Amino acid sequence: MKRIAIVSSVFLLFAFMSCSNKESMLIRGVVNNPGNVKVISFYEGDNKLDSVFLADGNQFKFERPATQERLLTIKVGNNNIPLIVEPGKELSITLDLQQPQNYKISGSELSNKLKAFAPLKENIDHVRDSLQAVFTKATADLEVNEVQSLRAEMLLEFEPSYGKFTADAVSFAKEHHDLAGFYVMSTLDYELAEAELIAYSEEIKDKFLENRYVNDFKAEVEKLKKLAIGQHAPALEGFTPTNKAVKLSDLAGKYVLIDFWASWCAPCRQENPNIVKQYQRFKDKNFTVLGVSLDDNPGSWMRAIEDDHMEWVNISDLKAWSSPYVISYSIKGIPTSYLIDTEGRIVAKNLRGKALEDFLVKTLN
């Protein structure tokens, strides 16, 4: 009886261990030529899960509870490696920091698919981090308005590179209709790749239904749709410099460029001559502009309107970044603009320079 009891206990122990393994993720790795690297960090999105030290033989081990695939990034020195870890499976990775791009993975086919995309992600992260470093240093002694102005300049500089990265991500997702494709799309910026993310969310609306991370992604994208192309622009109301109340609905029946700007915003002021030019050219073709200022100083606001020859309707509530405009129009920085049609639907966003001219020529001619 004792022998049977002992055997039964051992059987239950192994059964329990087996069950536990199926509800956990395990990553083992070896880092050759680590140099000064002693610690490996693990991230899920922007959330740092944990760090582990390199042990004897430059090995490391990371284990966490998991009941479904987890989308992780491991940081080894200056290298970020994307992984898709499945519960109940051991993922092994070997890399040499003298040739970090040639890392090898076993135990995860999806992670190997991501390997081809990893250099593109690392490159755009490098561009972003470099600009962020410049931004952080430059804004140390700036006022809040000057910080926002510099942010707008940096964003304009970053957009071309990010546009190329977004196109590459979309292409990858079209080739990989699995979690590898999802992982790549989920790394895109919600502000800079709005249209692509909305389109992708529609494509996978009936896929990965049991995956919490995919469902969280879908929920976030739903929020973007409020201000997506084709949606009605939110209500908008403010006062002109002469204290006259004006609503966006007062301009119904015209194409309206809703231009969020401020007197202190250098990129806004640089774009104003182009808006003046397009306003003069198309104002008799059912087009107008509604300038919405994020100023808090009425004097500066009114002087800028006069100096920049902004003849269209200009409104503000003089609450700057505390304005309800910021929330209702999801404004992260200025200049921000929305072009709406005669029925109040958003037809374009953030058109500047020749892009605005081309759109108006095509639409109004």
Q: How far is CA 55 from the centre of its chain?
A: 36
Q: State the chain's maximal CA–CA distance in angstroms.
A: 99
- 316/211 Cα distance (integer angstroms): 44
At residue 26, does pLDDT exceed 90? yes
**pLDDT at 98 (0 to 100):** 95
What is the sign, positive or negative, of the torsion defined by CA atoms of 336, 341, 347, 352? negative
Strand partners, 65: 24
What's the pLDDT band for 118 if we cut at 50, 70, 90?
confident
Average pLDDT over residues 163-184: 95
At residue 7, does pLDDT exceed 70? no
Domains and CATH numbers, the chain: 21-108 (2.60.40.10), 120-227 (no CATH), 237-364 (3.40.30.10)
Average pLDDT over residues 115-141: 87
User: How would you list the strands of the sheet with 70-76, edge to edge?
Assistant: 47-53, 39-44, 70-76, 79-85
At residue 14, does pLDDT exceed 70? no
**pLDDT at 12 (0 to 100):** 39
- What is the C-alpha end-to-end distance of the chain, expressed in Å? 94
User: How would you list the strands of the sheet with 59-65, edge to edge?
Assistant: 59-65, 24-32, 90-96, 104-106
Summarize pLDDT for 228-263 with one digit per residue, the tens.
889 999 999 999 999 999 999 999 999 999 999 999
Summarize pLDDT for 121-133 with one digit per residue, the tens.
889 988 988 888 8
Structure tokens that stand for 51 in this block: 């760090």
**pLDDT at 4 (0 to 100):** 37
- 218/205 Cα distance (integer angstroms): 8
Q: Tell me which amino acid residue 73 is.
A: T
- 151/169 Cα distance (integer angstroms): 25
What is the sign, positive or negative, of the torsion defined by CA atoms of 30, 36, 41, 45? negative
* Bond preceding residue 335 cis, omega within 30 of 0: yes
**pLDDT at 140 (0 to 100):** 80
Structure tokens that stand for 26 in this block: 């395990």
Strand partners, 78: none
What's the pLDDT band for 21 if we cut at 50, 70, 90?
low
At residue 215, does pLDDT exceed 80? yes
Average per-residue pLDDT in the chain? Answer: 89
- 111/179 Cα distance (integer angstroms): 9
Average pLDDT over residues 295-314: 97
- 332/158 Cα distance (integer angstroms): 15
Whether residue 34 contacts residue 58, with contact meaning beta carbons closer than 8 Å, is answered with: yes
Selected residue with higher pLDDT from 127 and 6: 127
Selected residue with higher pLDDT from 144 and 279: 279
Q: Which of 11-15, 55-59, 230-234 has the weakest average pLDDT?
A: 11-15
**Which among 284, 232, 286, 282 is positioned nearest to 255, based on CA atoms?**
286
Summarize pLDDT for 315-357 with one digit per residue, the tens.
999 999 999 999 999 898 899 999 999 999 999 998 888 889 9
At 44, which helix (H) or strand (E)?
strand 39-44
- 226/203 Cα distance (integer angstroms): 18
Q: Tell me which amino acid residue 179 is.
A: L
Q: Which region holds residue 210: left if phi is over 0, alpha if psi is between -120 and 50, else beta?
A: alpha
Q: Tell me which amino acid residue 138 is.
A: A
Whether residue 305 contacts residue 291, with contact meaning beta carbons closer than 8 Å, is answered with: yes
**pLDDT at 166 (0 to 100):** 96
- 262/301 Cα distance (integer angstroms): 7
Residue 232: DSSP 8-state: B
- 123/41 Cα distance (integer angstroms): 20
The single residue listed with the structure tokens 């030290």 is 53
Residue 233: DSSP 8-state: P
What's the pLDDT band for 15 if we cut at 50, 70, 90?
very low
